[in-house]
Amino acid sequence: MTAAEGAVISKPTVGITTYQEDASWRGWHRHASLVPTDFLAAVADAGGVPVLLPPYGGDQEAASVMGGIDGLLLVGGADIDPALYGGTAGPHTSGFAPDRDVWESALLRLALAEGRAVLGVCRGMQMINVLRGGTLTQHLPTALGSDDHQPPEPVFKNAAITLSPDQLPGSAVGGHWDIPCFHHQAVDTLGDGVLATGWSADGVIEAVSMPDQRFVVGVQGHPEAAPVGALFAAFVAAAREIRTARETTVANDDARDGVRAA
């Protein structure tokens, strides 16, 4: 038995980005890094170890944390600055989070370059597309004449999504998906290497993937709120493959170093 074969592979680590919001708890009212615990539970239930990645710097800082991350989960939140895709903000585009734009772009850039598993939810799906040179529709109620994708009140609305059964996420969850949604923006033109793989009845792109990557999936809906176990299972399984490959490489390197030392 080789050292690699005898090694115990640890659980995959999934880095999860956070919202930056004013929050209240136990009488305290402070600005905080937040993420719904639904995300943490979904990752943990699938066998991963969730680690929060609040915005902190750019490329250098992202490189310092990505070395220990097997999967990257980009959550929802504020509108992406249209300047990132060559646009100008319309009247309904606001609440930008420049620190998140810089941080998540840096994390995602590294994740794609290093072949990590990536799951983007809502804003996270849009970030995947924008980083690859795609653009966004800034306000669906204006473009479609309805608020079907984002009700007036902050509550999820179930949307019926048709998925390509031979591409992610459809290959993991099936060809039809009823998923909680709440988004007023959406993918317009697709970025380089980004494939549309899911659509609502009105033609809005609701899921994307990057087939040339091991696992890169974006969904406009909120699978953590359902929850959609099959999607998180596939995501964490891909992260586990990456973890196994990395730890096997380290074990083999250590074994070769031991032989040389002997």
Q: Which residues are catalytic?
A: 122, 222, 224
Cis peptide before 98 (omega within 30 of 0): no
Residues in Cβ contact with 141 at an 8 Å cutoff, skipping those fewer than 6 apart: 92, 147, 150, 184
Please give the C-alpha separations between residue 92 and each of 82, 137, 138, 139, in angstroms, as whole numbers.
12, 11, 7, 6
- Cα separation of 112 and 242, whole Å? 13
Please give the C-alpha separations between residue 70 and each of 40, 100, 155, 175, in angstroms, as whole numbers.
15, 20, 32, 27
Determine contact, residues 200/144, Cβ cutoff 8 Å: no
- Cα separation of 181 and 149, whole Å? 6
- Cα separation of 23 and 4, whole Å? 46
DSSP characters over 30-46: EEEEE--HHHHHHHHHT
Please give the C-alpha separations between residue 126 and each of 154, 211, 217, 240, 259, in angstroms, as whole numbers.
20, 17, 11, 25, 49
